[in-house]
């Protein structure tokens, strides 16, 4: 298996192109199941999760046409066409590695009246039940059965009538599934306490481009008037705010200055504010966001929260940055209960971090040291890369399949701005 080898201590300077958002793309792709017409997605990142989802789509008879597949290019243009669904079953072998697979449940149920989907897998970062997905669909009139590791959903004769559902807690995935399901319901659906993440807005905008009727986009109270059919569309995936935030942390920990080309500041307000509080200079314009670390980093207290709060997907990267800050920082994780698995690996690099339940105390240190470390999940792996960029000596990061799920050609992008980083075969 490959590993990434980093020689730390290089100041990052230059421009990094920001790819299409993984978390958005994995929601936009299943929208192809809602229409017989072609759906073309531009700026689709080249990621293992995207490839896995495309394999899942072929299970249902969806054809895929890819443009922009030259090695020197970032992103692709992909057209999906589900003129006829040949199956409504998502088997375990295709679903087990990726939690986002559950997002095919709603579109298939809405269009075909039935769907059978294996319970999903994904990063081992805590308990992430799908009960809210199912309860929202039941509120719209679906009949749900759990058996032998599968979810079986059926619509009544004549289709889903639609209905009202209030999420007891904010759930991004459940909101996304509910939106797609409601778009083809016979009546009106109202979703209360819905997630407001930029990726939710991106999904709503695509659905509207396909002919859906959605009110109050961007709010926590969404009203969806079901339509009889949706048309195809051509749509550009939003830039990845988590990738942009990750590279911002990488630049800051090296005392560097990097332009995040294509990043949208409005989508990452909480991350940029956290960086400012840490002592990083942040500016933005229509071309992207620029971060510069020209002075000492300062300790801060951070708490993750649903949007517009600090994204849980940025917690590990900011923790790595705070390992080099002056003073003691406290990070509180409110979204997932098992998202500090990167802490022992960071401590192997001479970080000083203690955890207690959902709280981590980070005592800044003058020096991080290179070490052999192992990624435990997608964002944790990026935190190790960030620490390695500032560490003395060599850092080797293993289990790159985590990184490849969410960062398009990471080592190439970091090399563009001066990092001494390469992917090599593991002897």
* b/e sequence 38-47, b meaning 16+ C-beta within 10 Å: bbbbbbbbbb
Distance of CA 421 to the CA centre of its chain: 24
Closest Cα partner for 259 from 25, 10, 53, 14? 14
Report whether 259 contacts 233 (CB < 8 A).
no
Looking at the DSSP bridge assignments, the partners of residue 403 are: none
| 132 labelled ligand-binding | yes
| 99 labelled ligand-binding | yes
Instruction: Determine which one of 123, 204, 249, 323 is catalytic.
Output: 123
Torsion, Cα of 92, 96, 101, 106 (10° steps): 50
204 is catalytic: no
Write down the residue that tokens 């339509």 correspond to.
227
| 22 labelled ligand-binding | yes
| 49 labelled ligand-binding | no
Q: How far apart are CA 122 and CA 120, in angstroms?
A: 7
Q: How far apart are CA 316 and CA 345, in angstroms?
A: 11
Q: Which two tokens stand for residue 13?
A: 């300077």
| 96 labelled ligand-binding | no
Closest Cα partner for 22 from 414, 426, 408? 408
What is the number of other CB atoms lying within 10 angstroms of the CB of residue 168?
10
The counts of H helices and E strands in the chain are 14, 24
Q: What is the DSSP letter of 309?
A: S
* b/e sequence 76-106, b meaning 16+ C-beta within 10 Å: bbbbbbbeebeebebeeebbeebbbbbbbbb
Q: Which two tokens stand for residue 301?
A: 């207290």
Q: How far apart are CA 133 and CA 98, in angstroms?
A: 16
| 50 labelled ligand-binding | no
Strands, E assignment, 46-142: 63-67, 76-81, 89-90, 114-118
| 128 labelled ligand-binding | yes
Residues designated catalytic = 123
Q: Which residues are annotated as a binding site for phosphoenolpyruvate?
A: 22-23
Annotated binding-site ranges for UDP-N-acetyl-alpha-D-glucosamine? 99, 128-132, 313, 335
Binding residues: 22-23, 99, 128-132, 313, 335
């Amino acid at each position: 298996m490959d590993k990434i080898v980093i020689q730390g201590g290089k100041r990052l300077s230059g421009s990094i192109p920001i790819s299409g958002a993984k978390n958005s793309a994995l929601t936009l792709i299943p929208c192809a199941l809602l229409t017989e017409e072609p759906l073309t997605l531009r700026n689709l990142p080249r990621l293992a999760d995207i490839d896995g989802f495309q394999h899942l789509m072929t299970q249902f008879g969806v054809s895929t046409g890819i443009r922009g597949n030259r090695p020197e290019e970032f992103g692709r243009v992909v057209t999906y066409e589900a003129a006829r669904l040949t199956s409504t079953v998502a088997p375990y072998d295709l679903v087990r590695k990726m939690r986002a697979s559950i997002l095919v449940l709603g579109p298939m149920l809405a269009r075909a009246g039935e769907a059978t989907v294996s319970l999903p897998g994904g990063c081992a970062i805590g308990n992430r039940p799908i009960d809210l997905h199912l309860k929202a669909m039941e509120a719209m009139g679906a009949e749900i059965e759990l058996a032998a590791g599968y979810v079986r959903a059926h619509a009544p004769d004549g289709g889903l009538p639609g209905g009202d559902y209030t999420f007891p807690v904010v759930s991004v995935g459940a909101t996304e599934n509910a939106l797609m399901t409601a778009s083809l319901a016979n009546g009106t659906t109202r979703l209360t306490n819905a997630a407001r993440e930029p990726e939710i807005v991106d999904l709503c905008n695509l659905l509207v481009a396909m002919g859906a009727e959605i009110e109050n986009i961007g709010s926590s109270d969404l009203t969806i008037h079901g339509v009889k059919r949706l048309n195809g569309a051509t749509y550009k995936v939003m830039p990845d705010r988590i990738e942009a935030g990750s590279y911002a942390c990488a630049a800051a920990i090296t005392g560097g200055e990097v332009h995040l080309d294509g990043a949208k500041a409005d989508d990452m307000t909480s991350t940029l504010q956290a960086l400012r509080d840490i002592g990083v200079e942040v500016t933005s314009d229509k071309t992207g966001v620029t971060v510069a670390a020209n002075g000492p980093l300062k300790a801060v207290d951070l708490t993750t929260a649903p949007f517009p709060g600090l994204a849980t997907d940025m917690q590990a990267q900011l923790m790595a940055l705070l390992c080099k800050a002056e003073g003691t920082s406290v990070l509180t994780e409110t979204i997932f209960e098992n998202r500090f698995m990167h802490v022992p690996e960071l401590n192997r690099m001479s970080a000083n971090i203690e955890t207690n339940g959902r709280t981590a105390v980070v005592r800044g240190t003058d020096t991080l040291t290179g070490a052999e470390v192992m990624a435990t999940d997608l964002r944790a792996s990026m935190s190790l890369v960030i620490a390695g960029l500032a560490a003395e000596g060599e850092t080797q990061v293993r289990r790159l399949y985590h990184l490849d799920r969410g960062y398009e050609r990471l080592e190439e992008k970091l090399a563009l701005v001066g990092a001494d980083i390469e992917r090599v075969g593991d002897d």
